[in-house]
Chain A
Amino acid sequence: NAGVTQTPKFRVLKTGQSMTLLCAQDMNHEYMYWYRQDPGMGLRLIHYSVGEGTTAKGEVPDGYNVSRLKKQNFLLGLESAAPSQTSVYFCASRTHLGGSYNEQFFGPGTRLTVL
């Protein structure tokens, strides 16, 4: 199994450009998450999904949109990129089985720079 994969690994955007980050998992997990990681800030939750067709806002959702059209995929969109969105983005997933709040599995990250 590949686990959680993210595409692309690196990207440089100009202010105002748009892009979509793709997260895919092959573990049949119900829950998926998008985080951003900035120096000294830990991980902050952007959006998450508890199942196909559902999404919810996290801690820092402004400037981002998400979609979960297929259970295995979770897309993060930036409609008009800003320098403040320069960050490393991580996707994670977890199963709903065996009770709540079990471990999350993380992808390798996407390093995004907005000029």
Chain B
Amino acid sequence: SQQGEEDPQALSIQEGENATMNCSYKTSINNLQWYRQNSGRGLVHLILIRSNEREKHSGRLRVTLDTSKKSSSLLITASRAADTASYFCATAGAGGNNRLAFGKGNQVVVIP
């Protein structure tokens, strides 16, 4: 099954800075999704980008998708302490199996 793979694994930044994390995958996708997980909690959906889209924005989030390179990036602008969390990318395959394949996650720490 395809797997998202985030890079880097851990990121520590100062409040107000931007945070960028990347995700690569191996096979054709229908869409790619990013989720956030606060410590000890469930995952929360952030944004979905379809395979025919190249960039998408939602508030302080910007996601790009390069299907030729099979990669995506998530940018969080003007980070806040509340953005401290783990971020996961997940891919929905083009084959129609109703499943998501999750990456291993990026841990982001925003220092106040």
Contacts and interface: CB of A to CB of B under 8 A. Distances in A.
A45 to B, nearest CB: 6
A90 B103 contact: no
Given A103-B48, A106-B43, A41 B104 contact: yes
A33 B105 CA distance: 19
Interface residues of A, number: 26
Interface residues of B, number: 24
Interface stretch (B11-19, B58-66, B71-79, B93-101): B93-101
Interface of A: 4, 31, 33, 35, 40-45, 48, 50, 58-59, 90, 92, 100-109
Given A42-B88, A101-B30, 8 more contacts: A31-B98, A42-B102, A45-B99, A48-B98, A48-B99, A103-B45, A105-B45, A109-B42
